[in-house]
A = this chain, B = another copy of it.
Amino acid sequence: MLSETGTGALAPAATAVFTAVLTEGPLSRVSLANRLGLSSAAVTKAARPLIEAGYLQELAATERTGPGAGRPASPLAICPDREYFVGVKITADELIGVVCDLSADVRVAAHRPLADPGVDAVLTELGRLIDDLLDGPGDYRARTRRLGLAVSGDVDRGTGLVRYSPFLRWHDVPLRERAARITGLAVTVENDVKALTTAEHWFGEGVGAESFALITVGTGIGCGLVVNGRLVSGSHGVAGEIGHIGVDATGPDCHCGSRGCVEAIAGTDAIVSQARACTGKPGLTIDDAVALARGGDERVAAVFARGGTAIGTGIAAVANLVGPARIVVSGEGLAAYDLFETHIRTGFERQAFGAAVQCPLSIRPLPFEEWARGAAAVSIQSLVAP
């Protein structure tokens, strides 16, 4: 698994060391030992093959602090350029792809429109996209062996099967196998929100948190959860459906058949239809609504306010139930996050119980290609902790 000639499996300690250095930056062997509950001897032994394989490097000794002195630590750090990873997010009308290094920094990005979301057409375009990415400037191909794919819907990461993806209209597509055949890479397939959550947990604001939640706001409103250090998957293929928590018994009908769901109040479509209703303009778009609200239209601003409050209430439900150490709110819907932010916060603070209000809330728009980076992060994870 680890090197071309590797044995395939990594000892528990080696995985732990690799993961800790990857996610928590340069660390000396002694601090790793303390952090992981291992002896320093075990860390030395676990680190050696990783250094020899070129994944880790020893940094120059740091100057010592404190009075007593002692031998300076030589921190272990990731060699970002040891290996590259492709991540692709598949949507119904576009492929977004990135090449990341081992530190999950994006090196190249590209996207391709999709005329047809059929499986065959998507795979053909996927092959071309990856060729573009790997054979462009930078010569990434030689050091790239892994590909992560992010798809919305019900995905079995273990088998790489897309059970059902509503937007793509895919049923039981063996995506890992098919993508592997076309690209020649080792493929990992994951649900898009889970991929994003993994990226944030390993490389973003969730680093070091035993539990963590990521909320994505857009047409749909989703949630990825990490509890006890592990991603939550849900027994019936359902988890993180914060968008369909009911927060208003007298609220608007939702496409799911219920009413008062967060998504029926705060999803992009819901915002648009409410803005159309209160302005009387049937052709109004989400951009129009944002512009009106920013321009001071109080009726449209109230629509955003109600949406933000509903999101905040839903987030409080997450905080009250699982008590994450921190929560990140993101998503394309947050392009208008200036209109949402205070209302999300007040909704959250009103509904969070007791000490749960202390849970730090990051609210920020989602940078371009972040979804694809999530897919690459899952691919990195498949190398480090298979």
Chain A residues with CB under 8 Å of chain B are 209-211, 223, 225, 227-228, 230, 232-251, 256-258, 260-261, 309-310, 313, 316-325, 350-351, 353-356, 358-359
Contacts and interface: CB of A to CB of B under 8 A. Distances in A.
A353 B238 contact: yes
Nearest to A257: B350
A321 B250 contact: no
Contact of A258 (B209, B237, B351): B351
Residue from the set A211, A249, A257 with the largest chain B CB neighbour count within 10 Å: A249
19 contacts: A223-B321, A233-B323, A235-B324, A237-B354, A237-B355, A238-B320, A240-B320, A243-B353, A245-B245, A245-B320, A245-B351, A247-B249, A249-B251, A249-B260, A249-B313, A250-B250, A257-B350, A317-B317, A321-B322
A257 B316 CA distance: 14
Contacts of A354: 237-238, 241, 256
B245 A316 contact: yes
A321 B317 contact: yes
Contacts of A236: 323, 325, 355-356, 358-359
A323 B194 CA distance: 14
A246 B312 CA distance: 10
A248 B249 contact: yes
Contacts of A249: 247-251, 260, 309-310, 313
Contact of A227 (B227, B310, B325): B227
A236 to B, nearest CB: 4
A214 to B, nearest CB: 13
Residue from the set A223, A251, A261, A355 with the largest chain B CB neighbour count within 10 Å: A355
Contacts of A310: 249
Residue from the set A258, A324, A358 with the largest chain B CB neighbour count within 10 Å: A258
Given A227-B232, A257-B350, A356 B317 contact: no
Contacts of A237: 323, 354-355
Nearest to A210: B235
Residue from the set A257, A317, A324 with the largest chain B CB neighbour count within 10 Å: A317
Contacts of A209: 235
Contacts of A244: 320, 351, 353
A228 B232 CA distance: 7
A81 to B, nearest CB: 34
B321 A246 contact: no
A162 to B, nearest CB: 15
A354 to B, nearest CB: 6
Nearest to A223: B321
A245 B210 contact: no
Contacts of A245: 245, 316-317, 320-321, 351
B323 A239 contact: yes
A35 to B, nearest CB: 18
Contacts of A230: 227-228
A350 B313 CA distance: 19
A195 to B, nearest CB: 18
Contacts of A351: 244-246, 258, 261
A192 to B, nearest CB: 16
A251 B322 CA distance: 24
A104 to B, nearest CB: 24
A119 to B, nearest CB: 22
Contacts of A211: 232, 234-235
A238 B313 contact: no
Residue from the set A309, A319, A358 with the largest chain B CB neighbour count within 10 Å: A319
